[in-house]
């Protein structure tokens, strides 16, 4: 164990919570932008879904990192390796969602 992070947490459960939080915040921001004419309705919906997905990915991976660093059954090397995998997966996932959303905007969808 590298850090005492407390009890092990559910990666999926926290990803759902993070996704919902992201959707709530993005819904408000994008609705306001839509009403002010900054974005189209389709862009607002796409942006909201994108932010929700990114929040879910980031939260799930962050919990995975905390679980790996606080696992007593793993060596420090194993914990760092697993943590690194979660960080890489999170960065890649957020990047992919962002890129897909940007490409959709460029196509006018």
Summarize pLDDT for 41-87 with one digit per residue, the tens.
999 999 999 999 999 999 999 999 999 999 999 999 999 999 999 99
pTM: 0.88
Q: Evaluate if residue 106 carries a pLDDT over 80.
A: no
Residue 18 CB contacts under 8 Å (≥ 6 apart), including other chains = 55, 56, 58, 59, 60, 62
DSSP 8-state symbol, 3: S
Inter-residue contact 33 to 66 (CB < 8 Å): no
pLDDT, position 104: 74
Inter-residue contact 69 to 5 (CB < 8 Å): yes
DSSP 8-state symbol, 46: H
Window from 2-6, 24-28, 43-47, 87-91 with minimum mean pLDDT? 2-6
């Amino acid at each position: 164990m590298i850090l005492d992070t407390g009890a092990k947490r559910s990666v999926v459960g926290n990803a759902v919570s993070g996704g919902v939080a992201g959707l709530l915040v993005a819904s408000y921001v994008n609705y306001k932008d839509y009403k002010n004419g900054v974005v189209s309705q389709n862009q607002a919906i796409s942006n909201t879904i994108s932010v929700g997905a990114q929040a879910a990915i980031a939260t799930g991976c962050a919990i995975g990192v905390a679980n790996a660093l606080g696992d007593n059954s793993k060596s420090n090397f194993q914990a760092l390796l697993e943590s690194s995998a979660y960080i890489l997966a999170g960065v890649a996932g957020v990047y992919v969602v962002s890129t897909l959303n940007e490409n959709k905007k460029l196509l006018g969808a």
